[in-house]
Amino acid sequence: MSWKSIPFPLIILGLFLSHSARAQQLAQSDAADMLNKLGQASAASEFVLSEAQDQQLHRLSKDVVDPLQIQTESPCTLNARDPRVRSHQLTICQGLFPPGLNPTQPAYDIKLGRTFPWHVVTVTIPDEPSDNPQEQLVQYTWEYDFTALPAELQAILKGSPRPGQSLFSHDGGAWHWSAYR
């Protein structure tokens, strides 16, 4: 069958459907907006500090540290097999770990009386189409927003952006966040 024998309305329908499929691609700005809303909704109040961060924190004046509203601070380990955990000398760190902290380093679990949301720094949507056109895996970097704190605290807590991946699904004419990967 040649293209000349295809009825004109079918050609128009094919062009429309092909345009609609392209229009339904997930935009980076839409993915960033959805991820930032997740960051607001999942703000954290418990963090793990490295020994160096903890020492820097304790060198600051009380007035500078007060905005953190520290509730508790305790030494912890990232290694659940550490013998000090079994002997109840240390607990397992519960907060979010700073990038680069390894299981053998001393750490401190700090619980705060306020929460801090996270936000995306960069968003990357792969150019190659996924196997399922109704799903899109998005890669991004993210960090906690400590901008409401004094500059000295921001310098201690900020760290470098962390990598993340999320799956988005196209359903009901719109893209939605589905899951962390």
CA distance 129 to 133: 7
For 35, phi and psi rounded to 5 degrees? -65, -40
Per DSSP, what are the bridge partners of residue 108? Answer: 49, 75
Domain ranges of the chain: 26-42+117-181, 44-116
Place of tokens 């069958």: 1
- For residue range 26-82, list pLDDT tens digits in order: 999 999 999 999 999 999 999 999 999 999 999 999 999 999 999 999 999 888 888
Instruction: Compute the mean pLDDT over every residue in the chain, rounded to the nearest whole number.
Output: 86
CA distance 159 to 127: 29
Q: For the whole model, what pTM was predicted?
A: 0.78
